[in-house]
Chain A
Amino acid sequence: MEILVCVKRVPDTAENEIEVNSDGTDIERDDLVYSVNEWDNYAVEEAIQIKDNVGGSVTVVSVGDEESEEVVRREMAMGADNGILLSDDAFEGSDGKGIATLLKAAVEKGKYDLILTGAQADDGAAQVGGMLAAMLDLPYASLVNKVEMVDDKKIKVGREIEGGNQEMNEIDLPCVLSIQTGINEPRYVGIRGIRKVASVEIPVHGAGDLGVGADAVGAAGAKVKCLDYYVPELGEGAEMLEGSTDEIVEKLIELLKAKGGLK
């Protein structure tokens, strides 16, 4: 099975304090650390497990600046066979559709039976997987928490539904799946693993290589534009507790007691 996994480099929510910058155009990025989007990491692990079971290869692709190479490399250290970076100044400012357009071009440069994306990204809108499938005119299953091999024509995929119940679907190959966290336990990638693939060549494709018109992607091609970032005003009945953790907890307990939530 030839598998392509689309991954994204995102600010790590666990290791950053996200703040909006003063002019509201972006978040404060000076002190951020980045990592691979958590959902994508599960998707790569799933792809590697499928490969280990039925053979084939796993390719990881990312759209981003040259620093995105770091996450591609990390996923290769995890066990992906190939990595591709889609990078070009012209790609900057792409909206979801622009990203999907680029990934579509990358998919068409290869021959894949299965294309995986994360269900969403920490800094995203959970739209690329669906758009990519539509553009490729491939079957699509979202929020997948289970993948079972049937044969080389079709697979079974599962989705959690309300009440903790499980739904199973059959889907024809090739197809696009968006992967939910919890589908597996991603393996650890140590410093040693990353160093082992440190010198592996990762091809970089620009607009020309992909045959994508500069007006279809990037800021020029974006039909959705971000207007503003801001901290919402306190609404009616909302209150922000401030102080040290102990003080906050104390105030919270007081409030809960005062409102009868705690006896």
Chain B
Amino acid sequence: METALIAPASYSFLGIPTILFSILIPIAGVALFTYIMAIRIAPLVLAAPDFRFNRIVERVVKVVRIWLLQWRQPRYKTAGIIHIMIFAGFLVLGIRSTSLVVIGLSEGFVLPGLGGPLGVVYSFFKDYAATMVLVACCLAAYRRIVVKPERYAVPSKYGKDHTSEAVFVLGMISTLMISESLFEASAAVAQARQGLHVEFIAPLSLAWIFKVMLTWASLSTLQGIHIIMYYVHDLVFFSFLCFLPMGKHFHVITSFFNVFFMRIDRGNIKPVRHGVADDKLDDLESFGVKKLEDFTWKHMLDFYSCADCGRCSDNCPANAVKRPLSPRFISIKGRDLVFKNYPLYPYGTPFTKGDDLIGNIYEEDEIWSCTTCGACEQECPLGIEYIDKIVDLRRGMVDEGMVPQSLQKPLRALEKRGNPWGKMEKKRADWTKELPEGCDVKVLGKKASAETLYFLDSITSFDDRMQDIGRATVKVLNAAGEDFGILGKAEKDSGNEVRRFGEEMLFQDLKDQNTDAILNSGVSKIVTSDPHAYNALKNDYADLPPVEHISQYIARKVKTGAIQLKAAEGNGKVYTYHDPCYLGRHNSVYDDPREAIDAIPGIKRVDMEKCRDRSFCCGGGGLMLFYEPEEEQRMGVLRVEMAAKAGANVIVTACPFCLVNIEDAIKVAGLEGSMEAIDLAELVDSHIEA
């Protein structure tokens, strides 16, 4: 085909054929990129194992949803839309940029399949894609430089601000868009001037605007622009590629893999070491993560993939109350350490074996501050995991004896008595003594059997206030005509937090004792009013009868009519439902509790702004009740204020720990009298049609 301009593949500058650059730039770029990637992959090879090559279909679905369709991005509307614009543009322009590299070698090159009408369609989209990306880059830069959203800020203890890196990359992307469009526009103008075939340029696209701007440029100017822009694009393209693995833009490369390998199940905790069965744990030399290489390769890939967007920390309750934890910096500090210990310029020893992480990179209080609420993981658009990392670090600390005194007592009590308060086992069923006449509870064992087990867990068994939840649950089960019983002194703490606080062997003991007791009781299903127990029995234990939370049970029984509820007394009460983390985020039970509340005729219920999978943790359960964190205020107080803002005056929870924290918070916030908290079981019990 005749062309008006000499293509980069045939052009000469000062007697040097520019095709030389077309060859050298890609070779140098690819070689450098390969070298960098080899260094980056090295720590992943040395890392702990992680079994993620399974359940391919589910993983592909994750990739389609979270990576390709950017499912989680619009949770932050402005940034999300900007990101989707850039991401979609990249997908479209990746093809164009690759074929441009080849065009430098062979001017007529067209990617197979893009020769015919498909090529025209592609070209149309590509022009708009470049335009869209440039617009998005400008918006993003405006946000970074002018708007400066709070979540991008870097607190001084975590080092310097990351804005310059972000803006630099936006500049690179913009340069790519502009150079590509100018390359195309200059050719189009020249072609048109010579009356030759003009490639279609989408109207009002960037290339189209350039075409208009260049209408009166001389042919030699056009030739100059054409060649210079080609090599600007070529150079920036490969520089960009090699710059990506240097920092937070590594996610451009790793995100696909990170999402593919992301957590599929929720509510569970990774095994101490993949490939080592629970009964072989005693043979392990060391437990948990103590040094960098103790992390699994996926967890290191997480470090690489963090885009520094700050969504995790923006939703982290610990961060909100100024505990010394910001999940974003768990990743950033991890990444910085990998980069430091596996440098690209290996002077002397190539790789340094890391020091202890605790005390050098992470602080003890930072790692204990996490309530494992899961808000960070729910939010991360890249599928980065935090809970397993935190738990692994805690396992390492427990193994080294680094456990705060405030947690040692309850852990010892759990070991000796099966509950964190050290209460006597034989008193575990004492709460039943205050049940009303005719409301009996069987203690399952040799003499008594039942179809359903009501598993209370420690707090409902022993805490004066929470025993009310136990009694309310019993009355609800009775009203529904359930044949049920409890384990009494054979029940031990479910160990949900024992495991999440890193004391794996103690958890295994508790699990074994409970499993034996449950299986021996001969029940065919389990119901519990404690989401932490629900989570542990469902996700941490194995081979148990099916487990149901009382909210699911109530929702089910209300539907069948087995439970009839009487109308709410108006009296100005506005209810709001607080989603417990271990019911909502970890187990996706969002609707049943709401349906159970709404089944009370005439009840007025509103949702808080942060609800469902964005629910805000009340302060944490289990052992977290004993931990004394450094914090400026209580999470519960923030939560109570959110409820007030939503216009509610009764907070309904479905978790004894939430009730403890929220009732305390109401007092701390000075809202006694204007705000109250109640458990779902209590609410339903008080509305049962007698």
Contact = CB atoms under 8 A, between A and B. Distances in A.
Interface of A: 12, 14-17, 31, 33, 35, 78-79, 185-193, 195, 244-246
A254 B398 CA distance: 45
The binding surface of chain B is classed by DSSP as helix
Given A189-B401, A192-B282, 9 more contacts: A15-B413, A15-B416, A31-B424, A186-B405, A186-B408, A187-B401, A187-B402, A188-B401, A190-B505
B379 to A, nearest CB: 32
Interface of B: 281-282, 287, 398-403, 405, 407-409, 411-413, 415-417, 422-426, 464, 503-506, 509
Contacts of A186: 405, 408
A12 B401 CA distance: 20
Contacts of A16: 422, 424
B24 to A, nearest CB: 58
Contact of A245 (B282, B398, B416, B464): B464
A78 B402 CA distance: 11
A15 B422 contact: yes
B416 A33 contact: yes
Pairs of residues from A and B, 10 with the lowest C-beta to C-beta distance, nearest first: A187-B401, A15-B422, A188-B403, A191-B505, A33-B416, A192-B505, A188-B401, A191-B506, A14-B422, A188-B408
Nearest to B417: A15
Contacts of A244: 464
Contact of A190 (B417, B424, B425, B506): B506
A191 B422 contact: no
A259 B408 CA distance: 40
Contacts of A191: 415, 503, 505-506, 509
B399 A192 contact: yes
Nearest to A14: B422
- Which of A79, A189, A245, A246 has the most CB atoms of chain B within a 10 A radius of its CB? A189
B422 A188 contact: no
Nearest to B408: A188
A192 B503 CA distance: 9
A14 B408 CA distance: 12
Contacts of A192: 281-282, 287, 398-399, 504-505
Given A192-B282, A244-B464, A35 B398 contact: no
A72 to B, nearest CB: 17
Given A12-B422, A15-B416, A31-B424, A193 B464 contact: no
B417 A188 contact: no
B623 to A, nearest CB: 12
Contact of B398 (A33, A185, A188): A188
Nearest to B284: A192
6 contacts: A15-B423, A187-B402, A188-B398, A188-B408, A188-B411, A190-B401
A79 B399 CA distance: 12
A192 B507 CA distance: 11
A15 B413 CA distance: 7
A33 B417 contact: yes
A246 B663 CA distance: 15
A120 B242 CA distance: 66
Contact of A12 (B399, B416, B506): B416
A189 B423 CA distance: 21
B422 A31 contact: no
- Which of A14, A16, A31, A245 has the most CB atoms of chain B within a 10 A radius of its CB? A14
A36 to B, nearest CB: 10
Contacts of B417: 15, 33
A188 B409 CA distance: 10
Nearest to B412: A35
Contacts of A78: 401
Contacts of B282: 192, 195
A12 B464 CA distance: 23
A16 B426 CA distance: 12
Given A14-B413, A14-B422, A15-B417, A188 B402 contact: yes
A33 to B, nearest CB: 4
Contacts of A35: 412, 416
A245 B466 CA distance: 13
A193 B407 CA distance: 17
A106 to B, nearest CB: 27
A190 B409 contact: no
Contacts of B281: 192
B505 to A, nearest CB: 4
B503 A31 contact: no
Contacts of A33: 416-417, 422
A7 to B, nearest CB: 16
Nearest to A77: B401
A133 to B, nearest CB: 29
A28 B425 CA distance: 16
A114 B425 CA distance: 41
Contacts of A31: 424-426
A152 B505 CA distance: 41
A37 to B, nearest CB: 13
A47 to B, nearest CB: 14
B503 to A, nearest CB: 6
A247 to B, nearest CB: 10
Nearest to B411: A188
A40 to B, nearest CB: 15
A244 B434 CA distance: 11
